[in-house]
Amino acid sequence: MILLISMCSDKLHELEFVKPIENVVGKCLVRHYKNFTLKDIEKADKVIISGTSLKDDFFLKELERFNWIRDYAKPVLGICAGMQIISLIFRGKLRKKKEIGYYRENFVKEFLSLKDEHEVYHLHNNYVSLPKDFIKFTDSKIPQAIKHNSKNIYGVLFHPEVRNSKLIEEFLNLV
Amino acid sequence: MKLGVLFSGGKDSVYAAYLAKKNKHELSCLISIHSENKGSYMFHTPNISKTKKQSEVMNIPLIIQKTSGEKEIELKDLEEAISKAKLKYKIQGVVTGAIQSVYQSTRIQKICDKLGLECFNPLWQIDEEEYLKMLIKDKFKTILVGVFAYPFDEFWLGKEINSKFLKEIKLFNEKYQIHVAGEGGEFETFVLDCPLFSNSLKIKNKKILKEGENSFRMEVEL
């Protein structure tokens, strides 16, 4: 079972940032970040943490809800806000950088099916510096796609549910 | 939250408004852009002057902004219209009917960001078949008012989006790659009735205009 964690403060935004991921994943357990339990996390085979709107950064005040990621052994994928959370939990630093719309990113190593140049959809005000124990997969200045050195913990600053859904499918195929 | 709806009168903007209301938001005003450029990538043009009638039956004020429709000018005009809505109706966010167009949504996101407004796109990346089924289930009376691709002809104008239409459009999708929700600009729609309307709009007169081999518009008088 996949646990999909919604990072949206407003229910209406879930149609924009959570539902499109759910459409790729299929049957899954969707929980808001204020409502999931440790039992949900234990039961899940994999966890996906969604993004949210440009103005919605309330999650930054509630990072302690995600401390479990540090010791989690199963695969996790953080999308936009989700990636920022993962990086902050592993002690990266929050920095300002606004990117809206399509950007070309060069994947120097294959990352969940993406390699070489790809157009990706960005919608964020911030990014987080690369934490220790993580590697980045693009040659961009800021980390756009990262993975933990030894665990299956992935993060993307862009939104793969917009025209790059095969990235999510590849994550679902991880053994 | 007080929201302004980017409103063309077609299924996408009306259904986006419906979802916003359903999620307890206040629809403070409708914002319609009247573009003189019929090929605009940003705004749908047919029957947009009829949005006034829709705003009346929705009992929501309407801001109309005219634009020449040239690429960058229409964005400035859109920004001006949203600024007016912010000033006059104290909106805190904008809701749009964007489904797939990164071009549209990027530009609207940037304008909202500049003006300090939330941006809601409740139809973003929606499954098109599921979407049409939702429209039908939620009692939207939506008709085709423009067709712009092979194999459509003038006989499609005025057809209602119902389960029969869904079957036909799915066949067109399989055979001619027509997008089921018309996202590729294959057809344009107009909403005559929905749960946001106090009463149904009736067509008094209609005029069909041929614009090309498989390109027809229907102008309606309500």
Domain span at residue B10 reads 2-120
Question: What average pLDDT score do residues B19-41 get?
Answer: 89
End-to-end CA separation in angstroms for chain B = 32
CA atoms within 13 A on the CB side of A42: 3
In a domain, B125, yes or no: no
Which of A91-95, A135-139, B49-53, B75-79 has the least mean pLDDT?
B49-53
Regarding whether B153 and B44 lie in a shared domain, the answer is no
Among A11, A16, A17, A57, the strongest candidate for a mutation testing the B interface, having the largest count of B CBs within 10 A, is A16
Domain edges within chain A: 2-173
What are φ and ψ of residue B185, in 5° steps?
Answer: 80, 15
How many C-beta neighbours within 10 Å does residue B101 have?
17
What chain A residue is nearest to B111 in terms of C-alpha separation?
Answer: A100
pLDDT band at A137 (very low <50, low <70, confident <90, very high): very high
SS3 assignment, position B142: strand
Question: For A58-109, what is each residue's pLDDT tens digit?
Answer: 999 999 999 999 999 999 999 999 999 999 999 999 999 999 999 999 999 9
**Pairwise CB contact (< 8 Å): B102 & A23:** no
A161 touches chain B (CB under 8 A): yes
Q: Is the pLDDT of residue B37 over 90?
A: no
B16 and B113 in a single domain? The answer is yes
Q: Looking at the domain assignment, is residue B21 inside a domain?
A: yes
- What is the pLDDT at residue A164? 97
| Residue B68 pLDDT class (50, 70, 90 cuts) | confident
DSSP A28-56: -EEEETTT--HHHHHH-SEEEE----TT-
- pLDDT in the model for residue B70: 78
Of B88, B120, B152, the residue at which a domain comes to its end is B120
| Pair (B19, B91) in one structural domain | yes
User: Within this chain, do residues B116 and B11 fall inside the same structural domain, yes or no?
Assistant: yes
Q: Are B186 and B148 in contact (CB under 8 A)?
A: yes
Do B114 and B150 belong together in one domain?
no
The percentage of chain A sitting over the pLDDT mark of 70, rounded to a whole number, equals 100
Which residues of B sit within 8 Å Cβ distance of A? 1, 19-20, 23-25, 95, 102, 106, 109-110, 112-113, 118-127
Same domain assignment for residues B51 and B114: yes
pLDDT at residue A124, as a whole number:
97
Residue B46 clears pLDDT 60, i.e. is over it: no
Could you tell me if B25 and B116 lie in one domain? yes
Confidence band of A175 (pLDDT split at 50, 70, 90): confident
B134 lies in some domain: no
Tell me, what's the pLDDT at B199? 96
Q: Is the CB of residue A26 less than 8 Å away from at least one CB of chain B?
A: no
pLDDT surpassing 60 at residue A147: yes
Q: What band does B39 get if pLDDT is binned at 50, 70 and 90? A: low
* pLDDT score at B40: 66
Given this model, what pLDDT does residue B92 score? 98
Band of residue B24 on the pLDDT scale cut at 50, 70, 90: very high
Distance CA A8, CA B10 (A): 28
Q: How many domains does chain B have?
A: 2
Q: Chain A partners of B123 at a C-beta cutoff of 8 Å?
A: 15
Using the beta-carbon criterion (under 8 Å), do B120 and A16 form an inter-chain contact?
A: yes
pLDDT of residue B71: 76
Instruction: Calculate how close chain B gets to A56, using CA atoms only, in Å.
Output: 9
Region B22-49: what's the mean pLDDT? 82
| Mean of pLDDT values over A11-36 | 97
> Which CATH number is B9's domain given?
3.40.50.620
Q: Do A12 and B23 touch (CB under 8 A)?
A: yes
- Of all residues in chain A, the one with the smallest CA distance to B21 is A12
Q: Is A123 touching B (CB cutoff 8 A)?
A: yes
Quick check: B109 and A123 CB within 8 A?
yes
Shared-domain flag, residues B91 and B188:
no
Q: Is A68 on the interface with B (CB under 8 A)?
A: no
| A4-31 mean pLDDT | 98
The CATH number covering residue B152 comes to: 3.90.1490.10
Residue B71 and residue B168 share a domain: no
Would the CB atoms of A54 and B119 count as touching at under 8 Å?
yes
B214 pLDDT more than 80: yes
Q: Which two tokens stand for residue B212?
A: 């090309």
Please determine, for residue B172, whether its predicted confidence score (pLDDT) is greater than 60. yes
Please determine, for residue B42, whether its predicted confidence score (pLDDT) is greater than 70: no
B107-158 pLDDT per residue, tens: 999 999 999 999 999 999 999 999 999 999 999 999 999 999 999 999 999 9
Residues B88 and B157 both lie in one domain: no
Active-site positions of A read 80, 159, 161
State mean pLDDT over A42-70: 97
Candidate CATH numbers 3.90.1150.10, 3.40.50.300, 3.40.50.880, 2.60.40.790; the one for domain A2-173? 3.40.50.880
pLDDT of residue A135: 97
Sign of CA dihedral A38, A43, A47, A49: negative
pLDDT classification of B167: cutoffs 50, 70, 90 = very high
The answer on B76 and B164 residing in a single domain is: no
Are residues B110 and B156 both part of a single domain? Answer: no
C-alpha closest to that of B131 among B95, B178, B97, B156: B97
Say how many CB pairs under 8 Å bridge A and B: 59
Out of B23, B24, B113, name the one closest to residue A100 (CB): B113
How far is residue A3 from each of residues A32, A55, A165, B125, B203, measured CA to CA in Å?
10, 25, 17, 20, 49
Which ranges of B23-101 does DSSP label H, i.e. alpha helix? 51-58, 71-89
Mean pLDDT of A21-46: 97
